[in-house]
Each structure stands twice: as structure tokens, then as C-alpha cells.
Amino acid sequence: MSFPRASGILLHPTSLPGPFGIGDLGQAAYDFVNFLYETGQSLWQVLPLGPTGYGDSPYQCFSAFAGNPLLISLETVVEDGWLDGADLTDVPVFPADRVDYGPVIEYKTKLLWRAHENFKARAAEAAQQEYVGFTERAAPWLEDYALFRAIKDEHGGSEWTKWEPYLRVREDRALHFFRENHTQQLSGQRFFQYLFFKQWARLTQYANSKGIKLIGDVPIFVAHDSADVWAHPELFHLDKLGHPTKVAGVPPDYFSETGQLWGNPLYRWDVLKRDGYAWWIERIRAALTLVDIVRLDHFRGFEKYWAVPAGETTAINGKWEHGPGAALFKAIQKAFAAEQGRLPIIAEDLGFITPEVDKLREAFGLPGMRILQFAFGTDPQADAFKPYSYVPNSVVYTGTHDNDTAVGWFTAGVGDSTRTLEEVDEERAFVLKYLGSDGHEINWDLIRVALASVANTAIIPLQDVLGCGSDARMNVPARESGNWGWRYQAEQLTPSLRARLKEMTNVYGRDRHLLKSNEV
């Protein structure tokens, strides 16, 4: 669908400030919504919200449907009565600028289990009914997820392919026996989801009341070690023991000479097609209960995807295989009774994009993405990212969670790309010439170009608004650890920064207050 002219900020909730070691859905999240409102923004884009697994990555979640318990605000749990104020008086000293996931997980998990015990002992009938109502609505995915997490915890966190065969293949008697003997563990997992969804609903309602829409993120692939694959192995290319026979990745590109080996199991699209892509429809439906707009990650994989034989150590020896193409999007369109081109989806059409991928995206009126950091190099596709090539039905970013920050990209040399030093120097000179800049505020130069462009939607990572360097980068593709940790501090959102962002947003016709008055 074509979106109205607007702008917003990319920030995952884990990056919010606060005393508990990780950003959460408490007061800092509401303060950030107020920041968006005050600066004329209309959009808040987040990364996937699921419970993180390998490498703490939101793109490797234990479920495509569940929420991340680490995002639950402990202070809100106190307000709701399931923790006491005294429970939060002995908070460990966590880093303010990064998430140290191990200690955070240990600390928050202990308190969430305590809240579960208190809920069982204290909850009045109204709260109990609200909880039961949630579990009934979420039952199609919640029961498999709770069971998966409970069994996983019972096995010391080991992946499901290492469980006993009767649990691995979900024998009815074995699962029944486990449920009967682990009611507490199952109840706790359900309760954590209840807290997450209740807090998220409060936050999104507040954001919407301020005219702020949420953009979520749906990765095309799911983690192998997930409730989704364990509960629905027939939908994936697996062997008899549950191991993938071929996995996802991308061929050699800007980021890596050997490609990116993601390792996610690949879908059996022939099986998904038999019931009209029901699993995917429910996945999109679930996402749209959380957010207003969905960014569909790795859109090119729906046309063709890079399949790598299991056991390979790089992505070089993969091959292109056909995805579901238009059939999937027609099914989604029909399920949502949407008119042609009215799906609230942004297509992440980055990477090796062919005319067939463009044709698929355009057939459903989906806006594609344009990244300014890709606009100035020698890559053959660079021209497509130059602002003079944009069309209104597109979304421009200074960079994404996979890119370095604007300042880091401009100053750090080769970085994680496959460019040579000579190419970097040539690119840097061209950037300055294109922008008419001396580069001392390269982040604001790029923000100005993004906001001024004809693209209907402009999204700026908060790191670029703040002028952060490479140490604030959210993710380095193919790096196994050290990602997803950056956090900002509340005092960084100074009055002068707020005024500057608001003025620039207003000048280029994206201020939500101005847009609202024009609509009237």
C-alpha cells in the first residue's frame, strides 16, 4: 500500500534506557513515544519482538508468535500487584549503555517466576478471567510454545533435536505425561506471555493515541531451535532426526566475500501451499495484532531464495530455488479481504534484486526500501539507492540495524564491507560532493537528504539522530556474538536535538502535526 508522507525512528525496545540492564515496556518506552510526538514523528519501527535464542538475536527467536519476556517492565508488574516494591530494591549494577544479556536474563527470570507465584496467590477473579481469556485466544500457538520452553528448560536449554526421541517427535502419551508433571513450568510460560502482551497492548494504545504507528518486523525464516519447527516439522526441510537438510543464507555480497550462512531451515513451500499458506497467514495476522505495519524481511526470498546444503561452513555453495511468489501474497490478500495494493506491508527488498523481485513487489503495491549508505559506492545497484531514483511509494533509511551508524560508516574505513581502501576513499569523496558537505555532521546531512526525498516514508535509526559512532552499531552480519546490545541514555535526547529534528521534519513536510492540520 502507499503510505502518507511521514517519518519515524528505528529503535528496538531493548535499547531504551532504564535501571534493569535492558530496555523494557515501562516508563522509558512512554517517554520515547512522547519524544516522537514532540518532534513531529509518526512512526516507531522495532525489530522482531519474540523471545531471543542463539546470540540474543531477535532474528533467531524461540517462537514466531510469542513475545520476549525480557521486555516485560518489572516496575509495571509491581504496579499490577504481582511484585512488591521491595523486590526491586536490590538491583545489580548493570551497564547503562549496553545489554549484558547473561546477568540480565538471570535477574529478570528470577523475578518473573516470583511474580507468577504471587499472581497465583493474589489474583482476584477479574485478573484471573483476563488471564484465562488471553490464554484461550492465544492457544493456537501458546500451548506449543509453553510446552517447548518447559521441555527445553527441563533439558538444560538444549535444542529440541537432542531431547529424548518420544519428546522430539511429540508422541501424544509422552507430551501428556510431561504436561501432567510440569504444570508449574507450563503455567509460568503462559503467564510471562500474558504480561508481555498486556504491557505491549498498553504501550501501543498510548502510541496510537498520540498519532504514532508501530512498524514491526517479520523475518522470512524462523530459527531451527524454535517451537515453530518443533511443532510443525512437516513445513520444513528436515531429516528423520529433525536436522535441516538445507539452510538459508545469501550469496557473497557487500558484507561478506563468502556470503552469509544464516542456518535457518528452509520451508517446504509445496506443503504450505496445500492448505492455502495457513501458517503464514496466521503469522501475519499475529504480527498485525502487535503493530500497525509489517516490514517483511528478506522479501527477495519469496521470489527465489539461496539454499545451502546442510553442513557447509560458508554460503558459497548454495543455489537459487523458487519461492512461493505471488501465490502467497494473493492468499494473504484474500485472508485479510484487502483490496489490491492495500496490504500494510513494507518489502525489505535489499540484496541481489532481480526484475522478477521488483515485479512481485509492484504487483501488490508494496513499498520497497532505499538505504542511503548504499547510494555512493561502485556497486552496480548503487544508482537505485540515490535519492534522484526514488519513487514516492518507497521507504528511505539512512541505514538499518545491519549497517554501521552513519558516522561510523563515513569514518571507519573498510569496516565489515568487501570494499578496498581505495574504493572507500573514492566513495567518501563522492558522498561529500553529492551532499555539498564537509562531512563534520554527516549524520545530519544524510537525515536531511532522507527527509527531503520524495519517498513517502523516511526512517532514521536513533543512533544517527544522536550522531553515534561505530560503537553504537546494533548488528554486524555474520558476527556470532557482541550484537544487539546498544542502549541510549535519556539525557542524550536534549532539548536542542529535539528542536532540530522537529524543525527538519517540518521543513520537509513530514511533521505529523502539520500533516494532521492539512488533512482537516
Tell me which H or E stretch contains 293: strand 293-296
Which pairs with CB-CB distance under 8 Å and at least 24 residues apart come from 343-346? 343/1, 344/1, 344/288, 344/292, 344/293, 344/294, 345/1, 345/293, 345/294, 345/295, 345/296, 346/215, 346/293, 346/294, 346/295, 346/296, 346/395, 346/457
The CA-based dihedral angle spanning residues 190, 194, 200, 205, taken in that order and rounded to the nearest 10 degrees: 150
Q: How far is residue 220's CA from residue 296's CA, in Å, rounded to a whole number?
A: 7
Structure letter (DSSP) for residue 339: P
Q: What is the DSSP string of 232-272?
A: -GGGB-B-TTS-BSEEEEE-S-SS-TT-EEEEEEPB-HHHH
Q: Which strand ranges, in their side-by-side order, compose the sheet holding 43-45?
A: 345-347, 293-296, 213-218, 43-45, 6-10, 457-461, 394-397, 368-371
CB contact at 8 A, 88 and 9:
no
Q: How far is residue 221's CA from residue 226's CA, in Å, rounded to a whole number?
A: 11
Annotation says 297 is catalytic: yes
CB contact at 8 A, 25 and 203:
yes
Q: How far is residue 67's CA from residue 492's CA, in Å, rounded to a whole number?
A: 28
CB contact at 8 A, 366 and 302:
no
Catalytic residue among 24, 217, 253, 297: 297
Catalytic residue among 80, 402, 426, 441: 402
CB contact at 8 A, 134 and 200:
no
Q: How far is residue 47's CA from residue 32's CA, in Å, rounded to a whole number?
A: 16
Q: Phi and psi at residue 245, in whole multiples of 5°?
A: -95, -20
Q: How far is residue 136's CA from residue 80's CA, in Å, rounded to a whole number?
A: 21
Q: How far is residue 37's CA from residue 178's CA, in Å, rounded to a whole number?
A: 49
Structure letter (DSSP) for residue 225: S
The CA-based dihedral angle spanning residues 389, 402, 298, 2, taken in that order and rounded to the nearest 10 degrees: -50
Provide CB contacts within 8 A for 513, sequence distance 6+: 40
Catalytic residue among 159, 228, 348, 416: 348
Characterize 71-97 residue by residue with b for buried, 16 or more Cβ atoms within 10 angstroms of its Cβ, and e for exposed: bbbbbbbbebebbeeebeeeeeebeee
As given in the structure block, the three cell numbers for residue 235 are 513445513
Catalytic residue positions, numbered: 297, 348, 402
